[in-house]
């Protein structure tokens, strides 16, 4: 069996499983009256459940278990424990609303587990002319980045499809790089993309609407954090090294959630509010207020952030890191005034 046929088959089978589990688990939630209430901050007008994250989690777990059994996939134990623990935290939050301070300490614990996976931020890859870092900076940088990535994805999950499209952008780029680099992780990417495609059918369905919930956003965020660790670990061999800076690449892959979170925190702090208070200052709220449908807003942010990433890929070898950063900031400002202002 050729590798291409194997991956396509895996994609289709995972898609079928995702579609089935999203429908089945949603029925269980509805039957137990575990629906998401509609309030003044809601972006939905009809009853929905937060079953999507659980469905995506089980779909990916089943597919990965099969991949491991066939020898096509190897998953570090501590990374698995970290992802499972954070997913369980998200599930508890969906059911009983875990307080933010408690959730933060649980995220730190998950970050420590991920740090033990064998991958970490042990080099700044030339940023500020720093390469290898001491162990204490490696630990603090890894924990900080883990918490930032996980929460950034969680905070943008405010419109149908938004977190899923941003996640797919991340994993499509990561999968492409890993495919060309010929590392052992590629099978994971058809799995996660197909799991999210199956979820999106229900996420955009008004009559059977499901959300990722914190279960899904923390699960996907922890997976992203793992691959950020993998990309920034000095032992990882990536073909992109001559083409683009690894730190710049990881920022570009997470561009929308990072920019939106930083902007929201800045606005709340300026207004003397807690950075963690729930409100409607996110960029996706601006798109919704301007009349964009949820799928339109999600696709727009996907396309704009992907375009900025592609431009940096094309120009990095010519203009270097500093001018790529300047160009990215300019493009962000231009796109903000065109689409979000």
Tens digit of pLDDT for each residue in 12-44? 999 999 999 999 998 988 888 777 766 555 555
Tokens standing for 255? Answer: 């561009």
**Rounded Cα distance, 280 and 73, in Å:** 41
Q: How many residues does the chain have?
A: 341
Distances (CA, A) of 34 to 24, 31, 47, 307, 331: 14, 8, 10, 39, 42
Would you place residue 186 in the very low, low, confident or very high pLDDT band (cuts 50, 70, 90)?
confident
pLDDT tens-place string over residues 84-110:
999 999 999 988 888 888 889 999 999
**Rounded Cα distance, 211 and 162, in Å:** 11
**Rounded Cα distance, 68 and 77, in Å:** 12
Burial class, 109, CB count within 10 angstroms (exposed 0-12 / middle 13-18 / buried 19+): middle
For residue 312, the tally of other CB atoms under 10 A from its CB is 24
Would you place residue 127 in the very low, low, confident or very high pLDDT band (cuts 50, 70, 90)?
confident
**Rounded Cα distance, 17 and 213, in Å:** 20
């Amino acid at each position: 069996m050729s590798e291409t046929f194997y991956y396509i088959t895996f994609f289709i089978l995972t898609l079928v499983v995702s579609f089935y589990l999203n429908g089945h688990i949603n029925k269980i939630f509805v039957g137990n009256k575990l629906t998401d209430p509609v309030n003044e901050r809601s972006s939905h007008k009809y009853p929905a459940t937060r079953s999507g994250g659980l469905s995506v989690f089980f779909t990916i777990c089943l597919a990965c278990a099969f991949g491991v059994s066939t020898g096509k996939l190897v998953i570090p134990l501590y990374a698995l424990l970290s992802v499972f623990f954070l997913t369980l935290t998200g599930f508890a939050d969906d059911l009983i609303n875990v307080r933010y301070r408690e959730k933060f300490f649980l995220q730190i614990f998950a970050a420590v587990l991920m740090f033990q996976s064998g991958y970490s931020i042990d080099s700044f890859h030339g940023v500020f002319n720093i390469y290898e870092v001491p162990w204490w900076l490696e630990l603090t940088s890894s924990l900080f980045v883990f918490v930032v990535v996980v929460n950034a994805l969680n905070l943008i999950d405010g419109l149908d499809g938004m977190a899923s499209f941003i996640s797919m952008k991340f994993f499509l780029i990561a999968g492409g790089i890993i495919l060309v680099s010929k590392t052992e992780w590629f099978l994971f990417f058809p799995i996660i993309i197909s799991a999210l495609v199956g979820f999106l059918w229900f996420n955009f369905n008004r009559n059977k609407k499901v959300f990722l919930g914190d279960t899904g956003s923390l699960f996907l965020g922890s997976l992203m954090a793992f691959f950020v660790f993998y990309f920034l670990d000095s032992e990882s061999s990536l073909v992109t090294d001559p083409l683009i800076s690894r730190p710049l690449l990881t920022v570009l892959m997470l561009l929308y959630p990072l920019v939106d979170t930083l902007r929201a925190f800045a606005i709340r702090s300026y207004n003397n509010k807690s950075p963690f208070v729930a409100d409607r200052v996110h960029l996706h709220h601006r798109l919704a207020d301007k009349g964009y449908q949820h799928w339109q807003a999600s696709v727009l942010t996907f396309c704009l952030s992907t375009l900025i990433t592609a431009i940096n890929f094309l120009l990095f070898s010519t203009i270097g890191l500093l001018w790529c950063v300047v160009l990215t900031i300019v493009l962000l400002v231009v796109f903000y005034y065109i689409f979000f202002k």
